[in-house]
Amino acid sequence: MSKAFVREQDHDEDDDALPVGQRIPAGGKNYMTPQGYARLRGELMHLIDEERPRVVETVSWAASNGDRSENGDYLYGKKRLREIDRRIRFLTKRLERAEVVDPSVHHGKDQVFFGATVTYARPDGSEVTVTILGIDEADSSRGQISWISPVAQALLKAHEGDEVRLHTPAGVEMLEILKVRYPEPGAPSAA
């Protein structure tokens, strides 16, 4: 079938390759903290201003050496250029859809919004502390979860002392919100 008759998708094809938890919901915004935005923008600028020109120079030099079919520098360089260009497209699209949210505007409040650090109790009595961040900045090894994760969706808009329902594959789990914190204005967030 001709591409002329195929309807284009609204989201980036590179986004489809990501695990479901890292995809931006269709038509949704890409919420992130100012620090997360700065980090992604820094990576994009590094790729554009430093890494890509360096690889282009290597590929150009390798191409001038003659036979390209067995030229490792040329073949590896072309492959690396494709990877860099794919990452540049991905970062550009993520940053275009970015909605920068400063969590410190909620400092002192007890309701859960984007950027909150929440301590909750599980039914077995254990306590868990998570920080709700953007898809591209959350790191589960540091206790950070994406705002689209099931846990974050259960916690959002609830208050300290509330019990919320978390739907899991094993069934419904009730979580009690013990504490909600936000960074102080002017202080860096947990991102």
Report the mean per-residue pLDDT for the chain. Answer: 87
CA angle 47, 49, 51 (to 5 degrees): 45
Mean pLDDT, rounded, for 45-62: 94
Structure tokens at 48: 């554009």
- Residue 37 carries which side chain, given as an amino acid letter? Y
Task: Give the range of the structural domain holding residue 155, as residue numbers without chain letter.
Answer: 104-181
Domain check: are 91 and 43 in the same one?
Answer: yes
Q: Which residues are within 8 A (CB) of 183 and not within 5 positions of it... i.e. 6 or more apart?
A: 103, 104, 107, 115, 189, 190
| CA–centroid distance for 153 within its chain | 16
CA angle 15, 41, 133 (to 5 degrees): 65
Q: What CATH number corresponds to the domain at position 47?
A: 1.10.287.180
Residue 5 pLDDT greater than 60, yes or no: no
Residue 33 pLDDT greater than 70, yes or no: yes
Residue 161 pLDDT greater than 60, yes or no: yes
Q: How far apart are alpha carbons 44 and 37 in whole angstroms? A: 11
Q: Quick one: pLDDT at residue 17?
A: 58
Residue 125 pLDDT greater than 80, yes or no: yes
Tell me the per-residue pLDDT of 70-111, one tens digit each, with 9 for 90 and over.
Answer: 788 888 999 999 999 999 999 999 999 999 999 999 999 999
Give the total number of structural domains in the chain.
2
Domain check: are 127 and 160 in the same one?
Answer: yes
Residue 127 pLDDT greater than 60, yes or no: yes
Rg (CA), the chain: 22
**Domain end call among 57, 82, 100:** 100
